[in-house]
């Protein structure tokens, strides 16, 4: 089981680690689905020593039938991480604008790529600033890293595997989008509304609040109430695999490091019109 200290770091603890001879590598992954790019926020102010890494272009592949944020090509990811100074075996801390979604996807991507020593700054940039810790506009020039990307260190689901998990008598596929999107009442991004038949809705605010996670026991209680059994498979999806990566992080905190991410998520599911779509408040079949 991975404890919070292995997955999350609080601002003052991170500040102390940065003030050592071997500070962790800092990645600023601030991102918005719509609106100004995260790089603009980075230019205004960031943690000292942090390197900006773009979620859309560096940590994900090009959008298409595989989804809006598909898996990156390993060679391209390796080049991006090395350019940001990521070194083999050296700790990395990722942070975003506070909701924890982009940072969780960055955490997940590095872990999937075989880099285990990565944590998320709990509360992101706002928590750091609220603690009165220093920020800067200086852009560092990191020494090139030597990390090697070895894909597959975390489990993933494709559409067929997601469908089988959703239909299984044991196991659960969590849809962590807002309830109106799950029910098919609205779909602001993708061309079809609804959910994967059999998937259970657990909107993200039910297990994370403003980018901060409750204690492991509370997380286990919430996931159990959604049908997550201790000895049965569990996977998660959202619109494009960003919010769902945060669900996988929460599941790790709750003691489920085997939780799988449907990376393509709904944007991949609806790319094939032959795939069935369920609507309404119940999982459907």
Q: Which residues are catalytic?
A: 238
State the pLDDT at residue 192: 97
Share of the chain above pLDDT 90, in %: 93
Q: Is the pLDDT of residue 1 over 50?
A: no
Residues 74-102, mean pLDDT to the nearest whole number: 98
Q: Give the pLDDT score at 207.
A: 96
> What confidence category does residue 5 fall into, taking pLDDT thresholds of 50, 70 and 90?
low
Fold of 156-269: Oxidized Rhodanese; domain 1 (3.40.250)
pLDDT tops 90 at residue 279:
yes
Tell me the β-bridge partners of 95: 28
Cβ atoms 182, 201 nearer than 8 A: yes
SS3 186: coil
CATH 3.20.20.70 fits 4-130, yes or no: no
Mean pLDDT of 223-248: 97
For residue 92, name the pLDDT band (cuts at 50, 70, 90).
Answer: very high
Q: What was the pLDDT predicted at 34?
A: 84
Start-end of CATH 3.40.250.10 domains in the chain? 4-130, 156-269
**Does the pLDDT value for residue 2 go beyond 60?**
no
Residues forming beta bridges with residue 237, ordered by sequence position:
175
Mean pLDDT calculated for residue range 219-229: 96
The label of the residue with tokens 């595997």 reads 161
């Amino acid at each position: 089981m991975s404890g919070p200290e292995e997955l999350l770091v609080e601002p003052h603890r991170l500040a102390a680690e940065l003030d050592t001879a071997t500070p962790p590598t800092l990645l600023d992954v601030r991102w918005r689905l719509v609106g100004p790019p995260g790089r603009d926020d980075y230019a205004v102010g960031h943690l000292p020593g942090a390197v900006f890494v773009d979620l859309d272009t560096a940590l994900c592949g090009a959008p298409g039938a595989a989804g809006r944020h598909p898996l990156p090509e390993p060679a391209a990811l390796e080049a991006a991480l090395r350019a940001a100074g990521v070194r083999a075996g050296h700790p990395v801390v990722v942070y975003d604008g506070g909701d924890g979604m982009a940072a969780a996807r960055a955490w997940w991507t590095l872990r999937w790529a075989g880099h285990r020593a990565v944590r998320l700054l709990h509360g992101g940039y706002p928590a750091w600033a609220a603690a009165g810790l220093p920020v800067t506009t200086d852009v560092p020039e990191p020494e090139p890293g030597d990390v090697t990307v070895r894909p597959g260190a975390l489990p993933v689901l494709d559409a067929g595997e997601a469908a089988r998990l959703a239909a299984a008598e044991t196991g659960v596929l969590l849809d962590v989008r807002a309830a109106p999107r799950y029910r098919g009442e609205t779909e602001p991004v993708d061309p079809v509304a609804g959910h994967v038949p059999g998937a259970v809705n657990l909107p993200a605010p039910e297990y994370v609040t403003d980018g901060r996670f409750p204690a492991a026991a509370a997380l286990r209680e919430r996931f159990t109430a959604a049908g997550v059994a201790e000895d049965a498979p569990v996977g998660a999806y959202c619109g494009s695999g960003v919010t769902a990566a945060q669900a996988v992080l929460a599941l790790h905190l709750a003691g489920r490091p085997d939780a799988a991410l449907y990376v393509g998520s709904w944007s991949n599911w609806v790319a094939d019109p032959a795939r069935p779509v369920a609507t309404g408040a119940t999982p459907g079949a």
